[in-house]
Amino acid sequence: MSGHYFIAVPLSNDLKTELFHLSNVWKGKLPFKKWTAEEDFHITLAFLGPVEEDKRKEIVEEIQQSLLSIESFTLQLADLGHFGPSKNPSVWWAGVQKSKELDELQKNVSLSCEKVGFQLEKRPYKPHITLAKRFNLAFKDDFSIPSTLDIKNKTIEVSSIVLYQIYPKSTPSYQIVEKWNLEGEK
C-alpha cells in the first residue's frame, strides 16, 4: 500500500500558532480556497509523491545515514510572498532568510532521495511556509497580497527533519511517520 510523502523541517508549536493567527487575520480578505491548518505548517525539503512501503523503508535508512554529519542550526523568518501573478496567486507564503545550512540540508536530502530512485522537482529551491493556496476564481473583492511579516517569534530552530504522510481529506493533513535528529541537537 502506498501513500504520498514529503520530507520537511518541522516548526515549533509557538511559531505554528503565530502563523495560524496571522493567516486567520487574512482569511476571507485574500482569494484562497485552502488555508493551512495550524498543525500543518512546515518547510518542505523534498516532495516524494506516492511511495510504496519498501521504498519508504529505503529512504528512511538513506536519510538517517546522510544526516550523520549535519548539525542543527537556526533560521530566521524573512517576509511574506506569493507564487504566481499578484492578480491570481497560487500560493501565499512566509519565507526564510537565505541560509547556507538550509541549502546544504536540502541538497543532502535531495541527493539521498535521488540515490534511492525518487524523481524530484528541478526548479530552484525556494524555502517557504505555505499559509494559503489555490486561487479562488469566484473571489470578487479587491485584494493586495501582504508582503510584510510582523510576528513575534521569527526564529526557527532546525534540530530535526521529518517524513510526513499526506492525508488530503483530514485536518491536519500531514502526519509525522519518521523523525531524524540532527547532530548537535540543542
Please give the positions annotated as active site: 42, 128
Q: Tell how far CA 7 is from the center of its chain.
A: 8
Residue 32 bridge partners (DSSP): 135
The CA dihedral of 69, 71, 77, 78, to the nearest 10 degrees, is -60
DSSP state of 13: H
Within 10 A of 174 (CB to CB), how many other CB atoms are there? 23
* Strand intervals (E) in 11-99: 32-35, 42-51, 73-83, 91-96
Using DSSP, how many helices (H) and how many strands (E) does the chain show?
Answer: 3, 9
